[in-house]
């Protein structure tokens, strides 16, 4: 019985022209209606003469003097499911009466051996590096090592069932992934296959490997990406088109920062109908547990944030080749939005596992190993990926692609091979400190080791005025804190610096899954920088902040609206804000 989708392979001794291939494919599709037919053409010199056509498990053999006969499972049948296969050869022979047109060459190879997820294939002399190939049983692979008389193919899907002596067919196509608005709200594998309970994705297929935009097409990074995390938006701001690294040990809150950043786009994306003003999110999970990816998806659903997000997952149980392709697939999907005048942000969680997967592939392919057994091109692996992030100028549509890669360190070692590589590629890093995390300072952002090379260029005017003083006071606090532990008696200025720093640190604490608006971030920092919290006990800082936000929302919503829309307050509004702060502080102290 014919399946809904059938793969038909036409083997010939001589090359068929493009016109002949089209006519043959059309005749086969007509004869096998209503099945969905996908035709592949291959050269097979062993036939000596004529053609051989594979219809799934059925073979039409014309390799001996134009005589067609059915083989294998239907040797005794004249037709298959009511379709007259014997009528096809007459039409094909008529089409093939001329052989003088320009030929399109396609070869067929043979699997010599399979080891782990790499197949050694004989033949395919014209195959290209990175080209997608299809095995006789339907498995998909990608050609990588091009040897003199053979090709090493990395198995992407269905590699377990590949056997020796199987045929391997070229597709003349690079590995692609579907793109478009239809990817939003979906969980996909790096080839675009559905991992959720929805139907297969339909969209424009684009190659995973794309070149980065030219320098002339780029524009300076000046527009902010609001993360909803006070410590990031104030101290290490991220701009559209930037590459900002999130780095830290295991279980220090790296994925939580990603989740909060995605949730922070919810209100803006909901209230904005113009697609060019929204920020679409692509989350790439590389080598993660399937349960972790599912939990991440459920959190997005719970907070109504999946509609503008796409999840690409290559889990720990998937092949190394699939994990290797995952970040490139996510970037290609994000580039669709960038190249169509929209804005996207892509998160790679994480590139440490990506480098390990590439190392595994390279060792299986017997490529020379370098430091820590990584191949020599491991730097190029990530540089060609992250260089695709860009803010395009108005001539090229004005779209942007922002990249937030994640790197996992071991015992806080920033000088390891992969961390130093990625740090040198990105425009700054957010370092999550394990000691701060254990002290319940969350998010555990180490101010001294975190930096954004874009700096205040991507900040609002109000936040910019606050951030300079905040960085200075926190840096002084960290420095004095380490020395104060050795001193028994501190002078008044040092004690004041420690007290101020402790309260500012308290302001930067934030629970998970509760991103803040710009006004909710900036105004409490303004209160702390101006010294209004100096008389409050440290334990009363966060209760006052919650009280103050509630009162400001109730009595002065226009300030919140002005800050969120324009990013600044007038001098008169700032003075009124200071009076309001003093009044609420007195009210809070009386109430407590």
Residues acting as catalytic residues: 453
Residues 433 and 450: their CA atoms lie apart, in Å, by 10
Terminal-to-terminal C-alpha distance of the chain: 79
554's tokens: 């109730």
SS3 340: coil
**Contact by Cβ (8 Å): 205, 333:** no
565's tokens: 């829309």
Residues 162 and 140: their CA atoms lie apart, in Å, by 10
Residues 545 and 516: their CA atoms lie apart, in Å, by 13
SS3 182: helix
**Contact by Cβ (8 Å): 63, 52:** yes
Distances (CA, A) of 558 to 373, 423, 464, 524, 566: 59, 41, 21, 17, 12
> What is the rounded (10 degree) CA torsion for 310, 302, 225, 530?
-170
**Contact by Cβ (8 Å): 61, 13:** no
Classify residue 2 as exposed, middle or buried by CB count within 10 Å of its CB (0-12, 13-18, 19+).
Answer: middle
Count the Cβ atoms, other than its own, within 10 Å of residue 217: 14
Element (H, E) at 560: helix 557-566
Element (H, E) at 151: strand 150-157
Nearest to 305 by CA among 259, 239, 253, 257: 259
Count the Cβ atoms, other than its own, within 10 Å of residue 265: 24
In sequence order, the β-bridge partners of residue 428 are 452
SS3 489: coil
SS3 189: coil
461's tokens: 């005017």
Classify residue 447 as exposed, middle or buried by CB count within 10 Å of its CB (0-12, 13-18, 19+).
Answer: buried
């Amino acid at each position: 019985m014919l399946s809904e989708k059938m793969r038909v392979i036409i083997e010939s001794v001589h090359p068929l022209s493009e016109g002949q291939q089209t006519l043959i494919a059309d005749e086969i599709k007509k004869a096998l209606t209503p099945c969905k037919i996908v035709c592949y053409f291959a050269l097979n010199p062993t036939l000596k003469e004529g053609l051989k056509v594979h219809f799934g498990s059925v073979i039409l053999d014309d390799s001996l003097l134009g005589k067609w006969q059915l083989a294998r499972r239907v040797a005794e049948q004249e037709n298959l499911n009511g379709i007259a296969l014997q009528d096809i050869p007459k039409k094909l022979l008529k089409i093939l009466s001329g052989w003088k047109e320009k030929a399109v060459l396609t070869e067929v190879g043979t699997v010599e051996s399979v080891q782990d997820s790499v197949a050694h294939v004989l033949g395919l002399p014209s195959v290209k590096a990175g080209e997608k190939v299809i095995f006789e049983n339907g498995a998909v692979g990608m050609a990588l090592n091009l040897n003199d008389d053979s090709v090493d193919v990395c198995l992407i899907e269905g590699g377990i069932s590949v056997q020796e002596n199987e045929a391997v067919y070229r597709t003349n196509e690079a590995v692609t992934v579907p793109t478009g608005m239809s990817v939003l709200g979906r969980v996909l594998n790096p080839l675009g296959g559905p991992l959720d309970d929805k139907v297969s994705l339909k969209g424009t297929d684009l190659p995973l490997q794309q070149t980065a935009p030219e320098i002339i097409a780029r524009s300076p990074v000046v527009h902010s990406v609001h993360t909803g995390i006070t410590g990031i938006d104030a101290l290490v701001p991220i701009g559209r088109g930037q590459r900002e690294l999130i780095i830290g040990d295991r279980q220090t809150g790296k994925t939580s920062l990603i989740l909060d950043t995605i949730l922070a786009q919810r209100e803006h994306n909901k209230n904005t109908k113009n697609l060019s003003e929204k920020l679409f999110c692509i989350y790439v999970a590389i080598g993660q547990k399937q349960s972790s990816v599912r939990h991440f998806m459920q959190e997005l659903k719970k907070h109504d944030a999946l509609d503008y997000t796409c999840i690409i997952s290559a889990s720990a149980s998937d092949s190394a080749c699939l994990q290797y392709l995952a970040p490139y697939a996510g970037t290609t999907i994000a580039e669709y939005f960038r190249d169509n005048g929209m804005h996207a942000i892509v998160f790679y969680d994480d590139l440490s596992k990506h480098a390990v997967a590439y190392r595994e592939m390279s060792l299986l392919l017997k490529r020379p190993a370098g430091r820590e057994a990584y191949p020599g091109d491991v730097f190029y692996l990530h540089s060609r990926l992250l260089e695709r992030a860009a803010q395009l100028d108005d001539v090229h549509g004005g779209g942007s692609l922002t990249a937030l890669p994640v790197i996992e360190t071991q015992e806080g070692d920033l000088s390891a091979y992969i961390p130093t590589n990625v740090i040198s590629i990105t425009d700054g890093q957010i370092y999550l400190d394990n000691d701060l995390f254990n002290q319940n300072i969350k998010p555990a952002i180490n101010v001294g080791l975190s930096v954004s090379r874009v700096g205040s260029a991507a900040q609002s005017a109000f936040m910019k005025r606050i951030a300079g003083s905040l960085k200075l006071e926190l840096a002084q606090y960290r420095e004095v804190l380490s020395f104060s532990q050795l001193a028994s008696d501190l002078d008044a200025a040092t004690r004041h610096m420690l007290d101020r720093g402790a309260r500012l640190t308290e302001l930067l604490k934030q629970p998970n899954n509760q991103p803040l608006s710009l006004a909710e971030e900036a105004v409490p920092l303004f209160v702390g920088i101006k010294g209004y919290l100096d008389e409050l006990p440290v334990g009363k800082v966060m209760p006052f902040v919650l009280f103050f936000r509630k009162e400001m929302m109730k009595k002065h919503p226009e300030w919140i609206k002005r800050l969120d829309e324009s990013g600044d307050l007038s001098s008169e509004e700032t003075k009124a804000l200071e009076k309001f702060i003093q009044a609420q502080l007195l009210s809070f102290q009386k109430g407590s």
